Amino acid sequence: GSGGLSIGQAGEFDYSGSQAIKALHEENIQTVLINPNIATVQTSKGMADKVYFLPLVPEYVEQVIRAERPGGVLLTFGGQT
């Protein structure tokens, strides 16, 4: 990958993800978030409809998809390219 986030990048990543959740809510789309980092705006109470604090590895993502049966999956917002 492109390496870890540097100082100043993590906030933009968190902001873009939280704005995506807000936009989905404005369209009355329920959101399920998988994020291993509890120290983000995205994982704050009242943001996503459901939050899973799990590592982003196939086994856990597959379990959440089986349990939640989403109509779609949005993979990422923000971050590094």
- To the nearest whole number, what is the mean pLDDT of the chain? 83
| Topology adopted by domain 10-68 | Rossmann fold (3.40.50)
Q: In the prediction, which pLDDT does 79 show?
A: 55
Among candidate residues 21, 16, 14, the one with its CA nearest the CA of residue 41: 14
Identify which of 9-13, 30-34, 45-49, 63-67 has the greatest average pLDDT: 63-67
Other CB atoms closer than 10 Å to residue 43's CB: what's the count?
19
Quote the CA–CA distance of 40 and 47 in Å, as a whole number.
11
The better pLDDT of the pair 41, 71 is held by 71
Q: In the prediction, which pLDDT does 56 show?
A: 86
pLDDT tens column, 45-72: 888 999 999 998 999 999 999 999 999 9
Q: In the prediction, which pLDDT does 81 show?
A: 46
